[in-house]
Amino acid sequence: VQAALKFTPAPRNYLTSCEGRLSLCGTINHCLYFKGKALEQHELVSGADEYVIHALRGKRRIVFERASGSRLWDVEGREYFDAISGTNGPAMVGHAHPLVTERVSAQLAKLPSTFLAHDSVPVVEFAARMSELTPSGLSKTFLCPGGGEAVEAAVKLAIRATGRTEVISLHGAYHGMSLALMGLGGIPSLREWFPGGIRWPGFQQVPNGDAYRPQLTVKEGGWETAARALEATIDRGSYNRIAAVLIELVQGPGGHVVYEDGFPQAVQRICRERGILLIVDEVQTGLGRCGTRWACDLYGIEPDIIVVGKAFGGGFPFGAFTAKADLVDEELEASPWHVLTFMNQPLQAAAGLAVTEIVESQQLAARAQILGDRARARFEQMAEKYGAIGDIRGPGLFIGVDLVTDRTSRLPATDACSGALEYALDMGLMTWFGGVGNVLKFKPPLTVPDEDFEHMLDMCERVVAYVDGKIR
Ligand SMILES: Cc1ncc(COP(=O)(O)O)c(C=O)c1O
């Protein structure tokens, strides 16, 4: 509209009052003239309150306007540093990466979408690329707009391919929030609100092999017991119709849980021995974040299906899974086993191709390892000063710092952390507290410049000091 009417570039947004109601009308020309005033943050917040349905809305209201690299700016020009792209953000190669912008824009201009029954050039290219990048034996890819949708599609494929209906996941797991996936989540607070509870018949969770807070033993070394619990559940607690075990190799949202070495391998062995499919959810851990291309590489895991999301889109909505070809027969591909208007679309593929190119050409997995080592060394120095740091967990630049009331009991410092998110935001640090609100996340883009990286660590130190002070 602006171009057609030869307007000068309009300020970012306009809000005008119509019969006492707020309405956003930045693209309607008469509104531009009606009250041509850029919106203030508080007006946008009122607009958001009136018109937007949120989930997990923060106490501190921020309205972002733009971002670049590892920084974002709100509508008042306040600057924020992104330390959460590896968790609830997708900007692993940085915000608004020029190559992603260029490739997605070019694709948008050339062929933005296709129809259900046919292919497009970038989708074939991206799927072929995934067969090269994913652990050995995986070769066929399904694309969709989100990680949860990809997990759900992978689970359906496993059920269809095996003819079995049961699926096991772990305590502390997070795989998405669809109706079915809520029953595969292992974080009670995310599902307990649901009236009457919810779990797809045949879905269940077993204890995980948490190295720091073993669920089944009082001391470290509990992973063998957790592996036995999985075996017992499969052999004695199921209907012997288990299609798949679904697992994150480091549990992100569930509190950055790292298993003891031995547990993931045992899960793989248990599945193989029984002909059960292993689905690995690498929505957070995949594509270099952990210092290797996949978290699978850290443990020698070769899944039957790998699921990815977030980072691969470089900001564009993205999810995908790649599976062994023998799980996907001709009949399945011709049938409506899973149908989405936005499955296998060229824009997702263009974004994914750009991101994988950036990760490979800039050797971002190696960079994640280098930066991760630096960050862990810095948190270890902090641990000498602040007793609140109970555990510092990697791998790579996928870091969670477990804050505790004391190191002996390892009790989560949930209360002490309660104001820490706002405290961090006051400084301009975008972070997150996972687990039961006590695990500080440090997961900036892998392209973060050194200066921003050090600045974010300085701010993290102040957050840790704040929590430590509250405990004392
Ligand atoms: C491990 C894991 N799996 C799946 C999902 C779901 O992805 P999305 O939010 O794109 O549906 C997430 C999102 O946080 C995740 O962390």
Report how far residue 125's alpha carbon sits from residue 378's, in angstroms, rounded to the nearest whole number: 41
Q: What is the pLDDT of residue 35?
A: 52
3-state DSSP assignment of residue 233: helix
Q: Which of 284, 306, 312 gets mutated to test ligand 1 (max ligand atoms within 8 A of its CB)?
A: 284
Looking at residue 191, its pLDDT comes to: 85
Closest Cα to residue 90, out of 311, 357, 384?
311
Rounded Cα gap, residues 151 and 157, in angstroms: 10
Given a contact cutoff of 8 angstroms between Cβ atoms, the answer to whether 441 and 431 are in contact is yes
Q: Which atom of ligand 1 is the closest one to the Cα of 151?
A: 4
Cα angle 312-313-314, degrees, rounded to a multiple of 5:
95
The helix (H) or strand (E) run that includes residue 399 is strand 399-403
Listed residue (122, 89, 120, 90) closest to 103, CA to CA:
122
Residues in Cβ contact with 418 at an 8 Å cutoff, skipping those fewer than 6 apart: 437
- pLDDT tens per residue, range 1-51: 344 444 444 444 444 444 444 445 444 333 433 355 788 999 999 999 999
**Tokens standing for 68?**
């670049």
Please report the pLDDT score of residue 364 as a whole number.
98
Amino acid at 59: K
The per-residue pLDDT for range 357-374, each reduced to its tens digit, is 999 999 999 999 999 999
CA dihedral of 434, 398, 267, 179, whole degrees rounded to 10: 50
- Determine whether 212 is an active site residue: no
The single-letter code of the amino acid at 180 is: A
The closest of 3, 179, 97 to 361, measured between CA atoms, is: 97
Distance CA 324, CA 1 (A): 48
pLDDT on residue 34 = 33
Nearest to 430 by CA among 410, 409, 455: 455
Helices in 362-449 by DSSP H: which ranges?
364-385, 420-427
Q: Do residues 324 and 138 make contact, with C-beta atoms less than 8 angstroms apart?
A: yes
> Residues in the chain with pLDDT < 50?
1-23, 25-34
- Rg of the chain's alpha carbons, rounded to an integer? 23
Is the CB of residue 250 below 6 angstroms from any atom belonging to ligand 1? no
Closest residue CA from atom 16 of ligand 1: 284
Within 10 Å of residue 54's Cβ, how many Cβ atoms?
Answer: 8
- The residue annotated as part of the active site, out of 14, 80, 174, 466, is 174
CA 332, 338, 341, 343 dihedral sign is negative
CB-CB contact of 256 with 441 (8 Å): yes
Let me know: does 206 contact 186? Beta carbons within 8 Å: no
Residue whose Cα lies nearest atom 14 of ligand 1: it is 88
CB atoms under 10 Å from CB of 423, counted, come to 17
For the record, the structure tokens of 43 come out as: 């007006």
Question: Is the beta carbon of 248 within 6 A of some atom in ligand 1?
Answer: yes
CA distance 158 to 376: 38
